[in-house]
Chain A
Amino acid sequence: MVSLVYLFNSLLYANTIVMLSVGLTLTYLTTRVPNFAHGSLATVGAYMMFTVAAVVMKESLVSGNISMPLVLGFVLAFLGGAFAGLMEYLIVLRPLKRRGTGSLGLMISTLGVDIFMVGLLNIYADILRGMRPATGVSRDWWLRSYVLSKVAGIPVGVWVSFGVMIGCLTLLYMLLTRTRFGIAMRASIENPQLAQVLGVNVDLVNMASWIIAGGLAGLAGALMAFVVRINPVTGSDEVVAIFAASIVGGLQSLLGGVVGGYIVGLSSTLGTKWLGDLVGVDLAAYKRAVPLIFIIIVLLVAPQGLMGVDWSRLRRRIIGGRSVREERLTVPHAR
């Protein structure tokens, strides 16, 4: 049986993966860059939260007065992640794109950005340690113990996590469907050249997408501190899971990112637990291998992602019905 605490932890983790996978998908759609530094954008947010809650406002945090530190921490986490994302685009990716760097080069450059950011975060963590944070340490810290008090039987952390996640995704949905800039973003994703021709400054759209993706990642990082012990490499280590979620979602739509985020986030936590109980071995240590299994299955079986699969056709094929020709699921990502 899965305990309630374990269930909550799994949900908290899955929420962060959802937010990260939506952001990764967004920048992939607008700028066509698979951003290997996306996880580190989250770590930036986590350390912003840490700076506010555990260093600057540590008295309030320790005295149990957590709302101010958390609110300010989230604001700064958003801003920090958004700033880092925007800088990654402006300083590294835009110049490289303008000089005609191919997708491989762009990918490598984001790896470089990731390593560089991890270096900066390591340095920052060293500096923070000297400032006597409330957690005592600046590595392997978390905020879990501060968000355990219950409201209506459910820990505050869970409320906050769902609140932030649902709030962000709703705002993003409204932006994309109800505002002109949002429609322009969708239009630029589909056909940047035509959008330009109609008067859209596509570069501005790209910048906005990096700000949004970075901000979402920053918030996700701050939320991650409710459930995972944070290190300068925490986000970087999650990047495979984030990609897995986005790939499961098909990298075509933000909704796909949400679905993929929950599938990967929950199966690597609840799934491994359940499987472990079934075979009687503790598989917790291997949960980080789960995203890989998803990547492999999805890319080799349904390269458009689960959202791209024609389910009715698949059902027909499995259940039988009328015999279907040797129809492969369409394969746009494959050569």
Chain B
Amino acid sequence: MGLPSIGIFLTPELWFWVAVYAIVSLSLNLEAGITGIPNFGKHLAVIMGAIVGAALPGYLGVHILPEEAKQAIIEAAGKGSLPSYASSYNSMISTYITNYYASHPAVSFAMFALTIITAAVVGAIVGLLASYPAARLKEDYLAITLLAAAEATLIISYNAPALGGTQGLTVPNTLTWLDSLTSRIVGRNMAHQVSSLIVAAVVAATILWYLERLVRSPMGRLLKGVRENEAAAQALGKNTAAIKLRTLMMGSALASIAGSIFIMATLGWIATTYNRVSWTFWAWAMMILGGMGNNRGVLLGTFILASIRQLITYYKDAIRPYLPFDPVWLDQLVLGSLLVVVLMLRPEGIFAEKTTYPLPRKMLEDKAAAR
């Protein structure tokens, strides 16, 4: 069995998963756990971020390639003109672009930053659109609407020629600026994994820090007020639609960043990776297990479930000979039963949310004090 199971905790791979999922589950916690918007279309923002991560460094990259690289591609393709990034020469083009980025760390960094920023903007737009039904529909209708929107986007992006259709895309590496540093420390083989981990971890840590501050601020109490009693918040003159809008824009921007980071790490795009189970339901399970509304709990839930998934992945080859079926399905049994069992035995999660002041009373007091 190679490494003992403790070994997976030493791999950058596990921690990368933890960090990327932490971004998604914390952003979900902002929307669903703290503000009470049941976003069952979380993977929509992740897909959009991944699309940005897959398209931008390639389409833009082709144009900034030096002339001789362009010529080389034209010759290899034998077409007389530069083939499209998403054409059948995709993987060759990506290699040229990656090489160019590798020799120009500043360009690579600029492309990296541009990708993250664009993903965030696109994600925010997704949140903006999602806020329209969120302001109008009740829980179950909203959930199915957001889920359906995400599924439709998945289907469309899976068939989009500009994204390589059902074949997907090989994506140029925008982390070469960081890879060159990490390779000096951990060696070439691990370099890209470690740089991906660093990026994801920095983003996740920033988000955790921000959300922890947010829940303790008056704004955080207002968000919880919207969750607990929207009518009361409205009665106190709060524009709850605007609050939901901002929350969804923020949450979707973050999830979209996670999607783009995931592409930067895996360097391949195929729409089916961004399915509802992997990016919405797992995130919900992480949040519920840890405790809705509690950021640190959600982080713990993310760690536990990401580890279980890695353990299954790690051991599946070892147990395959003993089972009459493929052990990958255990993943689904674990996720499915876990959602139900947590709801039955500990619906508040491992860490129940700490009760802060419920909004109406607190605000009534504030008002009284102001008078």
Contact = CB atoms under 8 A, between A and B. Distances in A.
The answer to whether any beta carbons of A and B sit under 8 Å apart in the complex is yes
A104 interface: yes
A299 B140 CA distance: 12
B210 interface: no
A266 interface: no
B336 A104 contact: no
Interface string B60-80: 000000000000000000000
Nearest to B38: A104
A335 B332 contact: no
B205 to A, nearest CB: 28
A279 to B, nearest CB: 15
Given A113-B336, A289-B156, A303-B141, A123 B329 contact: yes
Given A96-B343, A101-B347, A120-B333, A115 B140 contact: no
Interface stretch (A65-73, A216-224, A290-298): A290-298
Contacts of B138: 333-335
Interface string B324-337: 11100111110111
Interface residues of B, number: 45
B332 A115 contact: yes
Nearest to A293: B152
Nearest to A118: B332
B352 interface: no
Contacts of A325: none
B140 A92 contact: no
* Residue picked from A108, A109, A116, A122, most chain B C-beta under 10 Å: A108
A119 interface: yes
A299 B133 CA distance: 8
Given A122-B332, A292-B149, A296-B149, A285 B155 contact: yes
Interface string A273-313: 00000000000011011011101100110010000000000
A122 B333 CA distance: 10
Contact of B159 (A109, A285, A299, A303): A285
Nearest to B136: A334
A205 B285 CA distance: 31
A99 interface: yes
Interface string B157-192: 011000000000000000000000000000000000
A127 B324 CA distance: 6
B340 interface: yes
A288 B339 contact: no
Interface string A241-256: 0011001000000000
Contact of A113 (B133, B141, B145, B340): B340
B340 A288 contact: no
Nearest to B140: A34
B20 interface: no
A285 B347 CA distance: 40
Contacts, number: 137
Interface in A82-109: 92, 95-96, 99, 101, 103-105, 107-109
B84 to A, nearest CB: 19
B144 A247 contact: yes
Interface string A323-335: 0000000000111
Given A96-B343, A292-B148, A117 B336 contact: yes
B86 interface: no
A293 B152 CA distance: 9
Given A119-B332, A285-B159, A109 B143 contact: no
A296 B129 CA distance: 12
A114 B337 CA distance: 10
Given A295-B145, A300-B132, A288 B338 contact: no
A126 interface: yes
Nearest to B340: A112
B133 A300 contact: yes
A116 B139 contact: no
A111 B141 contact: no
A130 interface: yes
A114 B40 CA distance: 14
Contacts of B21: none
Contacts of A168: none
A240 interface: yes
Contacts of B136: 299-300, 303, 334-335
Contacts of A293: 152
A335 B159 contact: no
B353 interface: no
A120 B325 CA distance: 10
Contacts of B359: none
25 contacts: A103-B139, A103-B140, A104-B38, A107-B139, A108-B288, A111-B284, A113-B340, A115-B339, A116-B335, A116-B337, A116-B340, A119-B330, A119-B332, A120-B333, A130-B324, A286-B155, A288-B152, A293-B152, A295-B145, A296-B145, A300-B133, A300-B136, A333-B141, A334-B137, A335-B137
Q: Which 8 A-B pairs have the closest CB atoms?
A: A116-B336, A112-B339, A119-B332, A126-B325, A115-B336, A292-B152, A289-B152, A292-B148
